Amino acid sequence: MPKEKKSRPPYFNRELSWLAFNRRVLDLAQEELFPVLERMRFLAITSSNLDEFFEIRVAGLIQQLESGVGEVGFDGLGPREQLRRIRAITSAMVSDQYKIWDSEIIPALKKEKIFIKSPKSCNSTEKAWLKTYFEENVYPALTPLAVDPAHPFPHLRNKGLYVLLTLSRPGERARGVPDIAIVPVPPILRRIIRLQSGGQDEYRIVFLSDTIKYFAESLFPGYKVRNSAVFRITRNSDLYFDEEETQNLLLTIENELHKRKKGDAVRLEIEDCVSAASLQSLIDSIDLPAEYTYKISSFPINLARLNDLFELVDRPDLKFAPFKPFVPQCFRSGDDIFSVIRQKDRLLQHPYDSFSPVEQFIASAASDENVLAIKLTLYRTSSGSPILKSLKDAAENGKQVTVLVELKARFDEENNIQWARELEEKGVHVVYGIVGFKTHCKTCLIIRSEHGKLRRYAHLGTGNYNSKTAKIYTDLSLFTADDKICSEIADLFNTLTGRAAEPHFTKLMVAPFCFHSKFISKIDREIRNAKAGKKARIIAKTNSLLEQSVIDKLYEASQAGVKIDLIVRGICALVPGVKGLSDNISVRSIVGMFLEHSRIYYFENDGSPEVYAGSGDLMPRNMFRRIECVYPVEDADLKRRIIDDILPAFLKDNLFASLLHSNGAYYRSSEMKSSQEPFSAQQHFLDEANSTALSSSLILPADAEGISEDVENSENASEENAS
């Protein structure tokens, strides 16, 4: 008898799974529970996410195809098939974006006296005002670019906005090749123009690109504009260099950033009113295959610019209500923060708990005469960050300050270079980590002299040292003075700043050294317990699940009878609900008011649960190509908070959770369990924070921020959002 061929386990494709995540973001633009300006903002986020997806992921697939590599992932799809499916899905997604904008958001805004207009639809008074505005504020900044033998086709910058014009002299016969010109939309000008008409409580809005297009003929005296269309190009924006051959990483990345602006075109978005001849001329000039062209039937071309409209419109009633993060009593007592941490470990859940204790921790260290040294990893931070100021102050106060700056934090490279230089100027010792690995862990270590001995204090997080994103990303922060954990954090910093081929970690799971092996061993333990009839369960909350051996081990655990609940915000290659393989695994994604960013890992361990949190997702890059730190939560009270409140709330969510099915489709939990009372985990935590703050009569005017404060998109939507 021939051996029966073993069937290959099923996996979802990474790129298609990410597109399914972005579809869930787009769904929030139709969320009736959200105010209209917030719904509009989710349209902007969807577009920003798509930009980065094309700049990095689609660009990579196109490169594979052109180089003839044709790499097939463990899901079985090659680059050509992936690009074909991406084209179909993104075309439908973009079409749906504009349908929502035109048929739902614009009418809803109109009811609130916010009118989105084109120059053509303006009345005579508005047109006269707009003409004056154009002549005084726009025309002087414009540079029309003819395209002819004397004027070669210009380089078009990544994600820049342009107007493509077809010109002719009156009475001149049309030629085979059209006379075209391009007008760049200056990035320095405001993209949203508020017309000075109507009442003070009204907003009448036109877009800058449409205004330039409308008055473009004035830029070409003696010519008629026969056709005009706004367009933008997305280019390959990944950085390519060999770190091992690089003598100065900072200078190398600076040079690569200049190249990024000139990467190959990977997408053209253009109004569908463009003439066929002008479009062909443009496609030929930018050397882009026609299948990467997306025709847009509405305006604006770049929906990410709706963020500008969100900021312009001063209507708090159309945005999420302001929220005051809660500061736990122990951090408000006035006690020395180090004595607070010495008493017991402390856990914060951002954004419901304020980020200010983290800033206070570092600020106190900067001014405390007993603090000798501060060590911190910096992946992303915000402009004007109090943490950066504290680090500079600490160096000026004579403390030994070491900051590991990750120069390759995608789309934040320029910011990080600037901050690295500012820190160095103040005497901070700045290092850039281990060659070949991104330093993604979120750790801070403070060394303090107490009673003639040295004592260490640590902050460990799942999110960046960024006070802005801490208001809209959900993350966990742990403060500890535990000797063993702090000792291992010290070893981690020594590894990052010095050399250690095989550092040893017992408490921590640190990538690339032991995160993967320890995670696999903990799943194996649950498998053994299940087979022995002992208690076995796994709950994992992560941004992405893509590492094949972890997925295979979870399949094995499911087959052994381990109940597995996965909360995966973004990419998930694991296929749940397959009979005999993954029928004990559920996968849900929560996309809501806040960006779910915390990573939490729970192992039942036969009734003695272990809980971990940290920076590492379950992806190959996080386990093998990054420095990640996943830490145990061992304090009984803190562990109980995670086990009894935080994780159950995520599993109970039936408002903003979507359940992944074996066919790859996500269905909202409310559709699956309509008999249950509506429950949102995020709203639950908001209510908890508000209730606790009210009961303690807490007022935090400095922290009272709107939920949807505009953040620098590179998290985010940035790499963090995309992940």
Q: Which residues are catalytic?
A: 440
Name which of 496, 512, 435 is nearest 244 in CA terms: 435
Residues in the chain: 723
The answer to whether residues 711 and 558 touch, using CB atoms and an 8 Å cutoff, is: no
Q: Which helix (H) or strand (E) holds 372?
A: strand 371-378
Rounded to whole angstroms, the Cα distance separating 412 from 721 reads 14
Rounded to whole angstroms, the Cα distance separating 43 from 45 reads 6
Q: Look at phi and psi of residue 205 and say left if phi exceeds 0, alpha if psi is from -120 to 50, else beta.
A: beta
* DSSP-derived secondary structure letter, 604: -
Which residue type does 273 have?
C
Rounded to whole angstroms, the Cα distance separating 501 from 513 reads 9
Name which of 146, 10, 58, 118 is nearest 552 in CA terms: 10
Which residue type does 18 have?
W
Q: Which residues pair with 442 in a beta bridge?
A: 461
Buried b (16+ CB within 10 A) or exposed e, 322-350: ebbbbbbebbeeeeebbebbeeebbbbbb
Rounded to whole angstroms, the Cα distance separating 93 from 111 reads 26
Q: In what order do the strands lie in the sheet with 192-194?
A: 114-116, 203-207, 192-194
Is the four-CA dihedral 44, 49, 53, 56 of positive or negative sign?
positive
Rounded to whole angstroms, the Cα distance separating 580 from 559 reads 6
Rounded to whole angstroms, the Cα distance separating 496 from 572 reads 30
The answer to whether residues 514 and 383 touch, using CB atoms and an 8 Å cutoff, is: no
- Strands 438-439 and 509-511 come out as unpaired
| C-alpha 242 chain-centroid distance | 26
- Tokens in use for 157? 């910058």
CA 159 vs CA 22, 265, 304, 486, 516: distances in Å: 19, 10, 11, 45, 38
- Strands 626-632 and 438-439 come out as parallel
In a 3-state reduction of DSSP, which class is residue 563?
strand
Q: Which residues pair with 600 in a beta bridge?
A: 541, 613
- Tokens in use for 203? 């907003």
Could you tell me which residues come within 8 angstroms of residue 544 by beta carbon, excluding any fewer than 6 positions away? Answer: 568, 569, 570, 571, 572, 617, 618, 619, 723
- Tokens in use for 526? 């649950």
Rounded to whole angstroms, the Cα distance separating 178 from 225 reads 11
The answer to whether residues 22 and 658 touch, using CB atoms and an 8 Å cutoff, is: no
Inter-axis angle of helices 249-260 and 413-425, to 10 degrees? 150
